[in-house]
């Protein structure tokens, strides 16, 4: 992922209990805090983790509860903490999965924030609330709505597009052509759960990968890969018409 970014001690050396605090890209971490590695809970998660470590871009598909978003966000946080990327970019199409709650006040970032809650929670678990807030304030973690994406270019970043099934073909093209040097990008979604009434950009991307043999791994989770809970798996099966397979 390119050369490791420099770490340095905070100018104001201080202690957090018995743990020395270091400052990295404006975010403070406990130096002796040991994070457990991400552990695959099934063979498909192992395939996903291997793809993240070996490929610059990964497409991951499948039903809710399989860990698609959590693994991507957690891996991004670990890369940021290790200094292998400078930024984490989070984006998703601004399409609600049900009835809209209406107008959200505030800036574009504030309007977008409610949709990013699952991703943000996963990142905070790895780097801590305070470090997340500092990184967000300094622009090292950015929520990028599609409304302001055109004309952007990202480098030295981990880029996560969540709920990609709700992108249009034009939107997925815009996203894919923003990716610059030294980036890892994950396109995450479920082609069976599109909430738009036109061609899905995610489906178009998959068709292009397969038609042209592009070197982009496509990891596909199935219902049997659901790890969230037995209740989650039960209802996914029921809605998929597989009730007899409980």
Least confident of 28-37, 142-151, 200-209: 28-37
Is 99's pLDDT higher than 50? no
Task: Report the number of distinct structural domains present in the chain.
Answer: 1
Work out the pLDDT band at 17, boundaries 50, 70, 90: very low
Of 216, 215, 208, 238, residue with least CA distance to 226: 238
Boundaries of domain holding 201: 42-245
Q: Tokens 């996914």 appear where?
A: 236
Query: Does the residue 31 lie in any domain?
Result: no
Instruction: Output 94 or 167, whichever has higher pLDDT.
Output: 167
Q: What is the CATH number of the domain that holds 75?
A: 3.40.50.300
Query: Does the residue 1 lie in any domain?
Result: no
Span 5-29, average pLDDT:
43
Q: For residues 1 and 15, what is the distance between their CA atoms, to the nearest angstrom?
A: 31
Query: Does the residue 53 lie in any domain?
Result: yes
Q: What is the pLDDT of residue 15?
A: 37
Measured CA to CA in angstroms, residue 227 lies from 53, 60, 77, 232 at distances of: 22, 16, 21, 8
pLDDT in tens, 115-128: 788 889 999 999 99
Q: What is the pLDDT of residue 66?
A: 94
Q: What is the pLDDT of residue 104?
A: 57
pTM of the complete model beyond 0.85: no
Number of other residues whose CB lies within 10 A of the CB of residue 83: 15
pLDDT in tens, 164-211: 999 999 999 999 999 999 999 999 998 888 878 889 999 999 999 999
Least confident of 19-28, 44-53, 133-142: 19-28
Query: Does the residue 10 lie in any domain?
Result: no
């Amino acid at each position: 992922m390119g050369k490791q970014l420099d770490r340095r001690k905070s100018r104001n050396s201080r202690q957090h209990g018995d743990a020395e605090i270091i400052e990295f890209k404006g975010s403070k971490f406990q130096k002796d805090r040991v994070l457990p590695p991400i552990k695959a809970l099934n063979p498909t998660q192992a395939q996903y983790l291997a793809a993240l470590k070996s490929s610059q871009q990964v497409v991951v598909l499948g039903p809710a509860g399989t860990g698609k978003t959590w693994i991507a966000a957690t891996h991004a946080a670990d890369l940021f903490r290790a200094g292998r990327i400078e930024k984490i970019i989070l984006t998703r199409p601004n399409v609600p999965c049900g009835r809209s709650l209406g107008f959200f006040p505030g800036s574009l970032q504030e309007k977008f924030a409610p949709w990013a809650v699952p991703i943000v929670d996963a990142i905070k678990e790895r780097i801590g609330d305070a470090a997340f807030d500092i990184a967000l304030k300094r622009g090292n973690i950015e929520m990028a709505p599609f409304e302001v994406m055109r004309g952007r270019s990202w480098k030295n970043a981990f880029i996560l597009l969540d709920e990609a099934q709700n992108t249009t073909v034009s939107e997925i093209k815009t996203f894919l052509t923003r990716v610059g040097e030294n980036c890892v990008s994950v396109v995450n979604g479920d082609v069976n759960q599109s909430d738009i009434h036109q061609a899905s950009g995610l489906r178009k991307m998959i068709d292009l990968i397969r038609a042209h043999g592009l070197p982009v791994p496509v990891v596909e989770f199935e219902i049997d890969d659901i790890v969230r809970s037995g209740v989650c798996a039960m209802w996914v099966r029921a809605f998929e018409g597989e009730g007899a397979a409980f």
